[in-house]
Amino acid sequence: MRRTTRFALLAVMIVAGVLLATSSVWAQGGAPKPEKVTWLQHFFVRGGWVVWFLELPMSVAMVALSVMYFLEFRRSSLISDETMEQIRSLLEARQYREAIEYSANDPTMISSVVHAALAEASNGYPAMERAMEEAIDGWSSNSLRRIEFLNLIGNIAPMVGLFGTVVGMILTFNKIVEVGGVPNAAELADGISVALVTTFWGLIIAIPALSVFAAIRNRIEALSAEAALRAQSLLGMFNPAAPKTPAAAPPAAAPKPVTAPKPAPTA
């Protein structure tokens, strides 16, 4: 249900961005004159259908996915200290059934890893260790597949921008052919500038998308390694090869003071 709500919100944001862009075009009543073009009109209104219907929705999707992934892949929500303490207290109290039920109902990643390991407790610690590793690998693989949307946007956006630039250049040179001579330099420069707007948007989308993708990927790998260490520390009591904490040795008795021998009497 939460994932459906997120995708519905993302779709609403994309539709709102498209409607905003198209309404701006309709409000302007066509392309404005070159001498009155503002920065907003140049980069938003005159960019053409490639900007309105492809790159602006991609930019909205990139921002929405970046915010969603940064909020989702947080240490405080995946490896919660409160969850760790609750599981540790249950295991130390030998309430194994309660620990299994708690880890099954808790939504954090560390609970799912501990639950997978506790489910194999009857088969020995090596089986628990394998189940723990498989749970971490499965979570990591699933998370990396999910954030591939950012990688996809980051790789497609420059190509979409280049496509729009090529289309704009073709239309510009067609106008040169239509006038049958050398066009005005200002008009030619303005047409080429408008054609390059799509490449500008492609880079604006791709650079943040690939940067966020790399940051989230590194965070997933770091969280996977930390979850493995935390789970091993929680389940260390099931490891028969783990070194036991030696009992404290009784304090040694204080040594008796040594007295110097008395000198022999002289004759």
| pLDDT at residue number 34 | 45
pLDDT tens-place string over residues 190-205: 778 878 899 999 999 9
Average pLDDT over residues 66-88: 93
Quick one: pLDDT band at residue 112, thresholds 50, 70, 90? very high
- SS3 call for 247: coil
pLDDT tens-place string over residues 18-45: 444 444 443 444 444 445 667 777 777 7
Mean pLDDT, rounded, of the chain: 79
Distance CA 237, CA 239 (A): 6
Q: Which two three-digit tokens encode residue 54?
A: 């492809």
* Top-confidence residue, 14 or 229: 229
What's CA 31's distance to the chain center, in Å? 40
Distance CA 59, CA 202 (A): 9
Torsion of CA 147, 148, 153, 159, to 10 degrees: 160
Nearest of 47, 128, 37 to residue 91 by alpha carbon = 128
Quick one: pLDDT band at residue 259, thresholds 50, 70, 90? low
pLDDT tens-place string over residues 124-148: 989 999 999 999 999 999 999 999 9
Distance CA 216, CA 73 (A): 7
Average pLDDT over residues 60-70: 95
DSSP letter at 30 equals S
| pLDDT at residue number 191 | 75
Quick one: pLDDT band at residue 267, thresholds 50, 70, 90? very low
Q: What percent of the chain has pLDDT over 70?
A: 74
DSSP 46-109: TT-HHIIIIIHHHHHHHHHHHHHHHHHS-HHHHS-HHHHHHHHHHHHTT-HHHHHHHHHH--SH
Are the CB atoms for 149 and 58 separated by under 8 Å? no
pLDDT tens-place string over residues 142-182: 999 999 999 999 999 999 999 989 988 888 888 777 777 67
Distance CA 184, CA 180 (A): 12
| pLDDT at residue number 251 | 42
What's CA 57's distance to the chain center, in Å? 20
| pLDDT at residue number 106 | 92
Q: What percent of the chain has pLDDT over 90?
A: 48
